[in-house]
Amino acid sequence: MKPIVKSKLQTSAGTIEYALSGEGSPAVILINGGSGPIEGWMRTFHEMAGQTRTLAYNRLGVGGSAKPDRPQDGQTIVSTLRELLQKLGISPPYVLVGHSLGGLYANLFARLHPEEIVGVVLLEASHPEDLVINQTQGAVVKGLNRVLGMFDRFFPERQWSETHFVDETAKQIAAAGPFPDVPLIVLSGGKRPPMMPEAAYAIRQRNQLDYARMNSHGQQRIAFGSGHFPQMTEPEAVRKAVADCVEAARDRSRTPH
């Protein structure tokens, strides 16, 4: 499998590790899941870059990017990404592809800067209402999370981790403007993750469908053979979703409004 070539760039928030390949517009911006590295796109990146300019990057605290020194809430993460895009000379329009927690940032980015966005693909994306899922966790899981949290004091940079600011990011989404009127594809895994209770999975399925209803262009697709990582288990479904979104954006740009 062809490796993803990575580079680094200094931003005001710290050094950001990224991979950039391909030519064409709109540019596809890949937004990783929580703590997910660039390599998570290894089965899709080069094919996407064969169609248009494609960027993957590691947020602060992941891979070769610097450790964060400030709260990593959604607005901060979107601001850092936009600075990275500007410094790399990647001008709008963009198609955002957000996996898991990255879906929250794609959602927020699109609402804060709708003039820059021409399409969005939400890949097994976290939904603001997924926070309710925490209430369905058993005592063992909750206890384990508390124990793991105790170790944060030994690693000061963890206090700024994006996982501590998910609630704040959800509030920022609620306070932002409406989701833009752009092509929207929601790709959801069709298999319940083994550790996820059925009640939690039912909530998540409902929220995935809600995502597809954010605008009149939204559509939901199911990767029936996948759980939470379709880009690894069904990469062709992910590649097709992104390709279809890019083509829909191009068609709209050629059609007079």
Residue 1's pLDDT is what? Answer: 82
| Packed helices 74-88 and 166-175: angle between N→C axes, nearest 10 degrees | 80
Residue 165's pLDDT is what? Answer: 93
What are the domain boundaries of the chain? 7-254
User: Quick one: pLDDT band at residue 138, thresholds 50, 70, 90?
Assistant: very low
Tell me phi and psi for residue 139, to 5 degrees: -65, -35
Residue 245's pLDDT is what? Answer: 98
Q: Please write the tens of the pLDDT for every residue from 35-63.
A: 899 999 999 999 999 999 999 999 999 99
Cβ atoms of 99 and 40 within 8 Å: the answer is yes
Q: What is the mean pLDDT of residues 134-162?
A: 50
Residue 139's pLDDT is what? Answer: 46
Residue 195's pLDDT is what? Answer: 81
Residue 148's pLDDT is what? Answer: 35
What contacts 24+ positions apart, CB below 8 Å, involve 250-257?
Answer: 250/26, 252/118, 252/182, 252/183, 253/93, 253/118
User: Quick one: pLDDT band at residue 151, thresholds 50, 70, 90?
Assistant: very low
Count Cβ atoms below 10 Å from residue 183 Cβ, excluding itself.
23
Q: Does 144 score more than 60 pLDDT?
A: no
pTM: 0.91
Q: What is the mean pLDDT of residues 138-152?
A: 40
Q: Which is more confidently placed, 236 or 154?
A: 236
Distance CA 77, CA 64 (A): 17
Q: Please write the tens of the pLDDT for every residue from 186-225.
A: 999 999 988 888 888 999 999 999 999 999 999 999 999 9
Q: Which is more confidently placed, 174 or 154?
A: 174
CA angle 234, 82, 27 (to 5 degrees): 45
Q: Looking at domain 7-254, what is its CATH homologous superfamily?
A: Alpha/Beta hydrolase fold, catalytic domain (3.40.50.1820)
Q: Is 123 in a helix, a strand, or coil?
A: strand
Q: Please write the tens of the pLDDT for every residue from 216-257.
A: 999 999 999 999 999 999 999 999 999 999 999 999 998 765
